[in-house]
């Protein structure tokens, strides 16, 4: 299928060939009939993309500060690689879509195949959209009109915050798409509307829709105009739908308001507020958030959990329905707003018009009237896709940031054949497949498992999918490398154990990469002759992650200890060369429980040889400090590892320090060992009992923090016993 993408680094607007997405639970798969280009949001994005790197930096001073801090902590080269990797990520354009439902995901009862719906889907022939971001299109509203529904929803949410009443006067600052829709909705609410802009065509439309207009291009004073329409009292409310860097718009909005007037910001303007403006009149000021309640709430949007009607009357979905109803009854007329109709294939011309033609307001993209393009695999190149001499032929599942920055560069440096990338949405998978030379890309990972040419699968998806995908890949006869963790619960781990036991000579590894780093290998070598237990202290400056991030969700990510803390448990086990046999843990908080985020926690591990290790995993530090430090005390000697760049030895004959030009956490060495094990045979890169032990120890750490008890894993580090020691 075709999808419109914006490349941030190059500024190119591309109509790309992307595999059709799958319909996820509580989602709808929609064939697009029409979509609307947002003259505000999308113009800003395209203008930013086409700016120079210096200009991009000037527009994002906060990002620049973050980059400078990252350089201090991690070095110049890794930081610049991360920056350019982010800039290489294409962004799907568009959020105003109208089409027909062709598939419904699991758990969907409100919509059916064949329903016409408006949604916030992107500019693509097929879009997969959560049900709470969709609304049925009434009869009498055509596809082009329905494509304006989301823009109307944004305007309506701003109006709801204004709380207009019959007879009030409201100024609308900025008569773009949202402003012109807002004018009509305010007029339908019985308000007197003052429309302010500098574009003659937009002012004409505002007047057509019932507003009294002010042309500020000719020097007209909007404050004086507001006084004229309000008997010199000031308008009751101001809705700012403009896009400008100046602070004068908010200043003028305050000047034209009556005492205790309301100002609501929908657009993007300078916000250096003058206290005097607001103090003397006791004005209220509020920023409107997109479509309404539910926006950016993962439970509402992704999981389809609606808010109770009696408590949240106007959610983003109900706002969308209200706008469509206004269109159906004729109180909202978007026909005059359509200034350009462009086929999807010529979308690049549409954005040129958007940037150069001030008269372009509503640009509608037209789509082919054909059967839905449901092909979920796209071939990017022909040629050999089979491995010779037993070489690994890779199918990669997952195309997130870790895959982009670590896994793919590591795979590209090996002798493996890069065959297929699977990603749920298709966009990042297609972009990365092209960049790294894969033959195919797909949105259905099972096509990868069914491909007889592929003999090795690499899994880098969200954590809750790992155990199921491992099981399926092993049953399909593939070698498997999975990014940690193996599983987020014991049931998943047991399924993996069973699948591994049933497998035939298949290599299985987990992404515990730190044990493969040059520094860890050197530490292992220096400690190989010891005769006494080790004392190890690891400090991880993990950094804050929002509480609603998927990795913090126990059902999706398993929490940060299961998802990330396992790295350092494995590293200490690797150095001790003995399994974890007991775990204690304490976390910040008065009443920790199993559902409490474990991102500020201290874990004490006891190993089978008598060694002890302490992991301090703290999310409340500062990014300028090193992320990882490890000190190992052994027989009157100390090894001190600083951020995987510098290893110092104290008391070791013949060794004082090992310093690298750049941080090396072992990603490339780990992947190379996996690929070599497939081609050359021999022992797996890491022992299975160690993988199981680290996973069990991670489960135990979370339980110990929640219960305040010591969790025993037994002398061999197997499943925890039922006994807990106070």
The 10s digit of each residue's pLDDT in 611-632 is 999 999 999 998 888 899 999 9
The answer to the question of residue 678 being in a domain is: no
Domain boundary among 287, 306, 331: 287
One domain, residues 410 and 498: yes
Average pLDDT score over residue span 4-13: 86
Is the model's pLDDT at 417 over the cut of 70?
Answer: yes
Helix/strand/coil (H, E, C) string of 252-318?
HHHHCEEEEEEEEECCECCCCCCHHHHHHHCCEEEECCCCCCCCCCHHHHCCCCCCCCCCCCCCHHH
Is the model's pLDDT at 525 over the cut of 90?
Answer: yes
Domain boundary among 512, 544, 570: 512
The answer to the question of residue 566 being in a domain is: yes
Helix-helix angle 177-188:200-208, to 10 degrees: 20
Dump pLDDT digits (tens) for 146-196: 999 999 999 999 999 999 999 999 999 999 999 999 999 999 999 999 999
Q: Which two tokens stand for residue 172?
A: 């609308």
What span, in angstroms and rounded, lies between the C-alpha atoms of 297 and 292? 11
Is the model's pLDDT at 591 over the cut of 90?
Answer: no
Is the model's pLDDT at 2 over the cut of 90?
Answer: yes
Is the model's pLDDT at 1 over the cut of 90?
Answer: yes
Match 């190119």 to its residue by tokens: 12
Q: How many domains does the chain have?
A: 4
What span, in angstroms and rounded, lies between the C-alpha atoms of 437 and 382? 11
Q: What is the mean pLDDT of the chain?
A: 90
Match 């530490």 to its residue by tokens: 523
Match 């400690």 to its residue by tokens: 527
One domain, residues 348 and 438: no
Q: Which two tokens stand for residue 69?
A: 């801090």
What span, in angstroms and rounded, lies between the C-alpha atoms of 441 and 379? 7
536 in Cβ contact with 575 (< 8 Å): yes
One domain, residues 233 and 278: yes
One domain, residues 460 and 538: no
**Residue-level pLDDT at 351:** 83
Is the model's pLDDT at 388 over the cut of 80?
Answer: no
CATH number for 611 = 3.30.360.10
Q: Which two tokens stand for residue 236?
A: 């009751």
Match 């160690």 to its residue by tokens: 690
Confidence grade of residue 722 (pLDDT, cut at 50, 70, 90): very low
Confidence grade of residue 723 (pLDDT, cut at 50, 70, 90): very low
**Residue-level pLDDT at 529:** 92
Q: Which two tokens stand for residue 70?
A: 């990252």
Contacts of 162 (CB under 8 A, 6+ apart): 170, 237, 239, 262, 264
The DSSP secondary-structure symbol of 720 reads P
**Residue-level pLDDT at 695:** 97
**Residue-level pLDDT at 551:** 87
The answer to the question of residue 675 being in a domain is: no
Is the model's pLDDT at 597 over the cut of 70?
Answer: no
342 in Cβ contact with 349 (< 8 Å): yes
Coil, helix or strand for 725?
strand
One domain, residues 413 and 462: yes
**Residue-level pLDDT at 70:** 63
Domain range for 406: 377-512
H or E element in which residue 511 lies: none
- CA-nearest of 476, 468, 486, 526 to 506 is 476
One domain, residues 313 and 274: no
Is the model's pLDDT at 726 over the cut of 50?
Answer: no
- Give me the long-range contacts of 653-658 (CB less than 8 A, separation at least 24): 655/526, 658/518, 658/519, 658/522
Confidence grade of residue 67 (pLDDT, cut at 50, 70, 90): low
Backbone torsion region of residue 255, taken as left when φ is above 0, otherwise alpha when ψ lies between -120 and 50, otherwise beta: alpha
One domain, residues 53 and 197: no
Coil, helix or strand for 536?
strand
**Residue-level pLDDT at 245:** 84
- For the chain, what percent of residues have pLDDT higher than 90? 74
Contacts of 458 (CB under 8 A, 6+ apart): 394, 395, 396, 397, 407, 411, 480, 481, 482
**Residue-level pLDDT at 127:** 97
Average pLDDT score over residue span 561-584: 96
The answer to the question of residue 676 being in a domain is: no
One domain, residues 496 and 596: no
One domain, residues 230 and 322: no
**Residue-level pLDDT at 84:** 64
One domain, residues 332 and 415: no
The answer to the question of residue 10 being in a domain is: yes
One domain, residues 555 and 691: yes
Is the model's pLDDT at 724 over the cut of 50?
Answer: no
**Residue-level pLDDT at 79:** 67
Q: Which two tokens stand for residue 516?
A: 């493969």
Average pLDDT score over residue span 59-82: 65
Dump pLDDT digits (tens) for 339-375: 989 999 998 878 877 777 777 889 999 999 889 998 9
CATH number for 195 = 3.40.50.720
The answer to the question of residue 242 being in a domain is: yes
One domain, residues 275 and 158: yes
**Residue-level pLDDT at 431:** 92
Radius of gyration of the chain (CA): 29
Domain boundary among 287, 309, 335: 287
**Residue-level pLDDT at 77:** 64
Is the model's pLDDT at 682 over the cut of 50?
Answer: yes
Residue 710: exposure state from Cβ atoms within 10 A (0-12, 13-18, ≥19): middle
CATH number for 100 = 3.90.180.10
**Residue-level pLDDT at 725:** 31
Is the model's pLDDT at 60 over the cut of 80?
Answer: no
The answer to the question of residue 671 being in a domain is: no
More confident residue, 269 or 76: 269
**Residue-level pLDDT at 613:** 98
What span, in angstroms and rounded, lies between the C-alpha atoms of 57 and 53? 6
Average pLDDT score over residue span 83-96: 80
């Amino acid at each position: 299928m075709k999808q419109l993408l914006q490349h941030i680094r190059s500024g190119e607007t591309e109509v790309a060939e992307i595999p059709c997405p799958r319909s996820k639970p509580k989602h709808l798969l929609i064939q697009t009939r029409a979509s609307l280009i947002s003259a505000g949001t999308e113009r800003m994005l395209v203008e930013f993309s086409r700016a120079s790197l210096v200009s991009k930096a000037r527009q994002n001073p906060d990002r620049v500060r973050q980059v400078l801090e990252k350089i201090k902590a991690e070095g110049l080269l890794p930081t610049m690689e991360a920056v350019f990797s982010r800039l290489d990520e294409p962004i799907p354009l568009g959020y105003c879509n109208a089409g027909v439902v062709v598939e419904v995901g699991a758990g969907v009862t409100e919509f059916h195949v064949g329903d016409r719906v408006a949604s916030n889907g992107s500019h693509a022939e097929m879009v997969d959209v959560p049900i709470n971001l969709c609304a049925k299109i009434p009869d009498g509203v055509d596809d082009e009109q329905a494509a304006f529904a989301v823009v109307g929803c944004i305007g309506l949410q701003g109006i709801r915050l204004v709380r207009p009443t019959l007879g009030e006067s409201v100024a609308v600052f900025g008569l773009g798409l949202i402003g012109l829709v807002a004018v009509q909705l305010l007029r339908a609410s019985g308000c007197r509307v003052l429309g302010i802009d500098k574009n003659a065509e937009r002012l004409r439309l505002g007047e057509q829709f019932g507003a009294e207009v002010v042309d500020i291009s000719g020097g007209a004073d909007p404050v004086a105009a507001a006084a004229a329409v309000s008997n010199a009292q000031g308008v009751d409310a101001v809705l700012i739908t403009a896009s400008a860097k100046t602070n004068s718009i908010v200043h003028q909005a305050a000047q034209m308001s009556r005492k205790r007037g309301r100002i609501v910001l929908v657009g993007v303007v300078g916000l250096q507020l003058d206290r005097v403006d607001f103090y003397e009149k006791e004005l209220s000021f509020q920023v409107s958030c997109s479509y309404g309640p539910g926006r950016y709430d993962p439970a509402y949007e992704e999981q389809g959990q609606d808010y109770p009607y009696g408590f949240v009357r106007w959610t983003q979905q109900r706002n969308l329905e209200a706008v469509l109803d206004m269109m159906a009854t004729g109180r909202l007329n978007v026909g005059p707003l359509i200034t350009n109709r462009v086929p999807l294939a010529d979308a690049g011309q549409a954005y040129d018009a958007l940037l150069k033609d001030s008269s372009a307001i509503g640009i509608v993209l037209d789509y082919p009237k054909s059967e839905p393009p449901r092909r979920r695999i796209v071939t990017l190149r022909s040629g050999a896709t089979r491995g010779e001499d037993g070489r690994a032929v890779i199918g990669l599942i997952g195309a997130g940031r870790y895959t982009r920055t670590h896994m793919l560069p590591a795979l590209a440096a090996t002798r493996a054949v890069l065959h297929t990338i699977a990603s749920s949405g298709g966009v990042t998978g297609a972009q990365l497949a092209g960049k790294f030379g894969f033959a195919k890309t797909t949105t259905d990972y099972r096509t990868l498992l069914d491909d007889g040419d592929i003999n090795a699968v690499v899994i880098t998806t969200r954590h809750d999918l790992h155990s199921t995908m491992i099981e399926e890949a092993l049953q399909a006869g593939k070698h498997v490398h999975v990014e940690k963790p193996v599983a987020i619960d014991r049931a998943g781990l047991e399924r993996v154990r069973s699948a591994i036991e049933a497998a035939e000579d298949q290599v299985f590894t987990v992404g515990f990469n730190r044990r493969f780093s040059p520094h860890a290998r050197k530490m292992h070598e220096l400690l190989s002759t010891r005769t006494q237990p080790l004392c190890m202290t690891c400090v991880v400056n993990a950094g804050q992650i929002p509480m609603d991030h998927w990795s913090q969700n126990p059902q999706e990510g398993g929490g940060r200890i299961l998802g990330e803390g396992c790295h350092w448990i494995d590293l200490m086990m690797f150095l001790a060369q003995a399994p974890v046999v007991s775990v204690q843990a304490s976390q910040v908080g008065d009443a920790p429980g199993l559902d409490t985020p474990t991102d500020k926690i201290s874990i004490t591990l006891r190993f089978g040889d008598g060694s002890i290790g302490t992991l301090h995993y703290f999310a409340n530090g500062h990014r300028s400090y090193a992320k990882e430090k490890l000190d190992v005390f052994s027989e009157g000697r100390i090894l001190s590892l600083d951020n995987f760049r510098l290893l110092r030895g104290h008391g070791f004959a013949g060794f004082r320090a090992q310093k690298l030009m750049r941080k090396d956490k072992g990603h490339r060495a780990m992947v190379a060992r996996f690929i070599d094990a497939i081609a050359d045979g021999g022992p797996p890169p890491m022992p299975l009992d160690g993988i199981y032990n680290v996973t069990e120890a991670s489960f135990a750490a979370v339980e110990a923090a929640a219960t305040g008890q010591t969790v025993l894993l037994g002398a061999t580090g197997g499943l925890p016993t039922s006994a807990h020691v106070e």
